[in-house]
Amino acid sequence: MANEMIPLSEGDRFAFCCSPEVPCFNECCKDLNQFLTPYDVLCLKNHLGLRSDVFLDRYTRQHIGPETGLPVVVLTQESATDLKCPFVTPKGCSVYEARPASCRTYPLARLASRSPDTGRIQEQYVLLKEAHCRGFEAENRPTAREWVQDQGLERYNEMNDLLMEIIGLKRRRHPEPLDMKERRLFRIACYDLDAFRRQVFEKGELQEMNPPPEWVKAAREDDAALLRLSLEWVKRALFGEFQQ
């Protein structure tokens, strides 16, 4: 059977279950180009109790996305173990509570775009029915909406849509490749959040941006709020846009 991609509406049901009892358990956790969003990196490094630079050095590699022209972070695969995810074990995912958005979404894929007229996010889900997967033989039949809720995807989608805004700005306002300094700033603000925190609160690099005081207060107390602030900083510093 060939792989299939089946569009789903929020109310459409599909059969799927993944557990150690499924014969292909862990097969989908190898030979992947596992892209990590800034929010993925934040959740994983906090779950593991690591500084962001240590997590990035230990578990990821970076390249420039051919479509966006922006630095992209992907998980390093273990060549000695059939290119498996570094976090997969015989019993399953060792970072399951902090697993990336793409892992949470599977076997669905989320396609999102921002309406140029309303600014609202429009989303569509697609069922990735891979030939090797036996999870589709399950009796469990959630709707796409139920799957998103059960996998805790609302917060991930909300945070990841902030990156989509930046990608759109890059295409409109900075179509040429980022220079070395810009790539470094983008990497720090999006992925090395501990370094960004030091720049913000120790070196005062937000002065020109002049964000609302409540944003700064929230960023001191919550990493997700700090990431929101850092992504707004990217919009201002690299692409000349900032929303009060």
pLDDT tens readout for residues 151-210: 999 999 999 999 988 998 899 899 998 999 999 999 999 999 999 999 888 877 776 778
> Quick one: pLDDT at residue 243?
53
Q: How far apart are CA 32 and CA 53, in angstroms?
A: 23
- Kindly give, in sequence order, each residue whose CB lies less than 8 Å from that of residue 25, ignoring residues fewer than 6 positions away: 18, 19, 92
> Quick one: pLDDT at residue 80?
56
DSSP code, position 184:
H
Over residues 157-170, the pLDDT tens digits come to 999 999 988 998 89
Give the phi and the psi of residue 124 in degrees, each rounded to 5. -140, 140
Tell me the average pLDDT across 112-131.
83
**Which tokens go with 135?**
């999870």
Q: Report the run of H or E that residue 44 belongs to, with start and end.
A: helix 38-48
Q: How far apart are CA 100 and CA 43, in angstroms?
A: 8
- Residue 72, amino acid: V
- Kindly give, in sequence order, each residue whose CB lies less than 8 Å from that of residue 113, ignoring residues fewer than 6 positions away: 121, 122, 123
Tell me the average pLDDT across 10-15.
94
Please name which of 96, 243, 218, 76 lies closest in space to residue 162, comparing C-alpha atoms: 243
Q: How far apart are CA 42 and CA 231, in angstroms?
A: 13
**Cis previous bond, 213, omega within 30:** no
Please name which of 54, 77, 71, 18 lies closest in space to residue 187, comparing C-alpha atoms: 71
Q: How far apart are CA 122 and CA 151, in angstroms?
A: 20
Tell me the average pLDDT across 9-20.
93
Q: How far apart are CA 169 and CA 181, in angstroms?
A: 18
Please name which of 38, 28, 22, 131 lies closest in space to residue 83, comparing C-alpha atoms: 28
To the nearest 10°, the Cα dihedral for 237, 171, 71, 120?
A: 80
> Quick one: pLDDT at residue 212?
87
Percent of the chain with pLDDT over 70: 94
> Quick one: pLDDT at residue 244?
46
pTM of the predicted protein model: 0.92
Q: Report the run of H or E that residue 6 belongs to, with start and end.
A: strand 4-8
Burial of 189 (0-12, 13-18, 19+ CB in 10 A): buried
| Angle formed at CA 99 by CA 97 and CA 104, multiple of 5 degrees | 100
